[in-house]
Amino acid sequence: MDRFYYEVYHPWRLQRQNLLEAQTRRALTVLGVKEKRNAIPEISWLPEMNPLLRYPEVKSAVQAGQIGVYFWLEPFGLADSWWVAPGLVIVSFAEPGKIYENYYSFARSLASRTQALADPTRLVILRMIRNIGMTNTDMAKYLGISRPTVSIHARILREAGLIRSLQRGREVRHEILPDEVHRVFHDLEHFLDLPPEEKDKG
């Protein structure tokens, strides 16, 4: 652990020292002197993803002076970090950093993949090609829709990484990628940080 601290974390922390100090000065400028402990803090300067702005109930409670706020500056750029204690909310005021950017990048990727599944025709297409690849013509006949429409649905599924399309002469054959479909549900569960599934006790 010491090796990690001195070889990795400590040098990285030193690189961010100027940013941390600049943000501290900004917070003190906006909030005023430290001695104003009972004053209702100004929160409009916070990043838009900050919980004090994102959750109306929390925002209202802070602005009404019903709960106090303890601002916390951390080096990781987790702009939405917060904890709630009796009568107090502890919240980060960091600007979004790389970790937060990666978090949102992952969220956008996951949203794109789940959106590809949010259409009954595309779900039927995945069901049809789960065991054997099919062409646009085959699927159009079965679904009773045009080949161009099938092609559009296939493109959405392909761009989401859920199928692959192989050119066979003048036809394109589509095949499902089962591992990638499994990954969507795994990533969704991981992203939402769902509690373990409760077994039926009856």
Give the span between the Cα atoms of 110 and 92, in whole angstroms. 26
Tell me what pLDDT residue 110 has. 93
Domain 100-192 has CATH 3.30.300.30: no
User: Quick check: 21 pLDDT over 90?
Assistant: no
**pTM reported for the whole predicted model:** 0.56
For residues 87 and 65, is the Cβ–Cβ distance under 8 A?
no
pLDDT tens profile 107-153 = 889 999 999 999 999 999 999 999 999 999 999 999 999 999 999 99
Angle between helices 120-128 and 136-143 (to 10 degrees): 120
User: Quick check: 53 pLDDT over 70?
Assistant: yes
User: Quick check: 91 pLDDT over 80?
Assistant: yes
Highest mean pLDDT among 24-33, 93-102, 157-166: 157-166
For residues 129 and 98, is the Cβ–Cβ distance under 8 A?
no
Nearest to 173 by CA among 143, 134, 137, 139: 134
> Across the chain, what does the average pLDDT equal?
83
Domain ranges of the chain: 2-95, 100-192
Read off the DSSP letter of residue 6. I
Give the span between the Cα atoms of 173 and 196, in whole angstroms. 39
Distance in Å from the first CA to the final CA of the chain: 46
Record the tokens describing residue 169, joined without a space.
Answer: 């002469």
Give the span between the Cα atoms of 198 and 193, in whole angstroms. 15
Enumerate residues 6+ apart whose C-beta is below 8 A from 94. 23, 47, 73, 74, 75, 76, 77, 78, 79, 81
Tell me what pLDDT residue 184 has. 95
DSSP for 110-177, written as a single string:
HHHHHHHHSSHHHHHHHHHTSSS-EEHHHHHHHHTS-HHHHHHHHHHHHHTTSEEEEEETTEEEEEE-
For residues 46 and 93, is the Cβ–Cβ distance under 8 A?
yes
- What's the average model confidence in pLDDT over 28-44? 70
pLDDT band (50, 70, 90) for residue 99:
low
